[in-house]
Homo-oligomer: A and B are copies of this chain.
Amino acid sequence: MNLADLPTPVLLLDRTRLERNCLRMRGRAKTLGVQLRPHLKTAKSATIAEIAHGGAKGPITVSTLAEADYFAARGFRDILYAVPVAPQKLAQVAAIMRRDGCDLKIITDNLDVALAIAEKGAALGVTFRVLIKIDCGLGRAGITPDSEALLPIAAALSKPGAELAGVLTHAGHSYHARTIAEIRHIAEDERAAVVKAAQRLREAGHPCPIVSLGSTPTAVHADSLAGVTEMRPGNYVFFDLFQVGVQSCRMEDIAVSVLATVVSHHRGRNHLLIDAGGLALSKDTGANEHAPGTGYGLVCRPGAPLPLPGLAIHDVHQEHGLVGPLPAPEGSPAAALDFAAFPPGSRLRALPNHSCMTGAMYDRYYVTENLDQGGGLAVVAEWDRVNGW
């Protein structure tokens, strides 16, 4: 099958870039001396989880119980559900643990939830393995490493029905760094925060086997992970325009794209209309923080490894994408679009701003290989994804 045979919009994935990204991150984990526990919230695919581990069903991170269920049913045995657990979800966690003999770990940062976890574990006859969430500066979830709440939560998780498995943190604020030096600084804050929390727990007599952190920018650039046992980057398997902007990768590392068709020309407004809009691409505009003018994405010719210069997806409606010239510098006339080069029916590959959000709209990947060596037009496989909750 060829790209020309596919309906549009569909999600494309270049296996060669994926494998290269995964190999490089395994190298980073080895260099840094930590276990890699990739976050599958981005890929949501068992095939890709195995590729991330070089062929093994190794430790993984998930963002929903739908993912936990899917990966456990496919033989993954060491899974961390890394969103603070709602007490109502504990019965389902226990069911997955029992059904598949799966070490499905959960997290919390709240004393009341910790008490509820132990109580529910005792009632269900299981031992929930729990990590305490630490806030290293993102300010989304977690307690600070010096919080008074740390030891009471650890004590609650030492009751029958629960077991303290470790601590984890996530430096999501690294996404907003302007320089690699700043990312390295945030990576050190991330490391220091989670290691300090582990030390406090151990000094109080708690075992703390897992010391976990990770975001793609800090995983790419951290100088040292001394005291850390594992890292959990996720986006790196695909990368996207945001990660190019924050200097986690190069443009030619982006492994996913959306295949779209030109459906019309709007000569009055100087844009092409494509059949990939807000649903096919997502409405995430984060990439513009680092690269103003990126709009909702850049576009490539099918089979071409790099985006067409001077073009971006300026606007999206539900099923419409508007592709036009990048804004001209102040005082310059706007570039005229070469409409003849993009007749209706011609195809474009849209590079996503944020591959986690874009991927979630699709139930499968159409897989190509050797995009950088002229092989990007043949579809060599279809891989499934698990969406929803």
Given contacts A41-B319, A140-B322, A141-B320, contact A7 B88 (CB under 8 A): yes
Residues of chain A in range 243-276 having any CB-CB distance to chain B below 8 Å: 261-266, 268-269, 273, 275
Is the CB of A345 closer than 8 A to any CB of chain B? yes
When all copies of this chain in the complex are counted, the total is 2
Most buried by B among A135, A318, A356: A318
- CB-CB < 8 A to A265: which residues of B? 110
Is the CB of A279 closer than 8 A to any CB of chain B? yes
**Separation in Å of the A112 CB from the closest CB of chain B?**
6
- CB-CB < 8 A to A283: which residues of B? 282-285, 357
- CB-CB < 8 A to A65: which residues of B? 7
Give A38 to B86 CA distance when docked, in angstroms. 39
Is the CB of A343 closer than 8 A to any CB of chain B? yes
Is the CB of A344 closer than 8 A to any CB of chain B? yes
Most buried by B among A64, A135, A172: A64
**Separation in Å of the A259 CB from the closest CB of chain B?**
11
Q: Is the CB of A318 within 8 A of B266?
A: no
Give A84 to B343 CA distance when docked, in angstroms. 14
Is the CB of A227 closer than 8 A to any CB of chain B? no
Q: Which residue of B lies closest to A114 (CB)?
A: B344
Most buried by B among A8, A144, A389: A389
Q: Is the CB of B388 within 8 A of A362?
A: yes
Q: Among B110, B135, B284, which residue has its beta carbon within 8 angstroms of that of A268?
A: B135
**Contact pattern, A 355-387, Cβ under 8 Å of B = 1, otherwise 0:** 011001111000000000000000000000000
Q: Among B92, B268, B389, which residue has its beta carbon within 8 angstroms of that of A9?
A: B389
Is the CB of A169 closer than 8 A to any CB of chain B? no
Is the CB of A54 closer than 8 A to any CB of chain B? no
Is the CB of A278 closer than 8 A to any CB of chain B? yes
- CB-CB < 8 A to A322: which residues of B? 140
Is the CB of A30 closer than 8 A to any CB of chain B? no
The 15 listed contacts between A and B (C-beta, < 8 Å) are A8-B86, A8-B389, A9-B389, A41-B318, A63-B318, A108-B264, A110-B344, A112-B343, A113-B263, A116-B345, A135-B268, A140-B269, A283-B285, A360-B361, A361-B388
Known A113-B344, A363-B388; 19 more pairs at CB < 8 Å: A7-B65, A7-B89, A7-B389, A41-B319, A85-B263, A86-B262, A110-B263, A110-B265, A112-B343, A113-B264, A116-B344, A116-B345, A133-B264, A139-B266, A140-B269, A140-B315, A140-B322, A278-B357, A280-B389
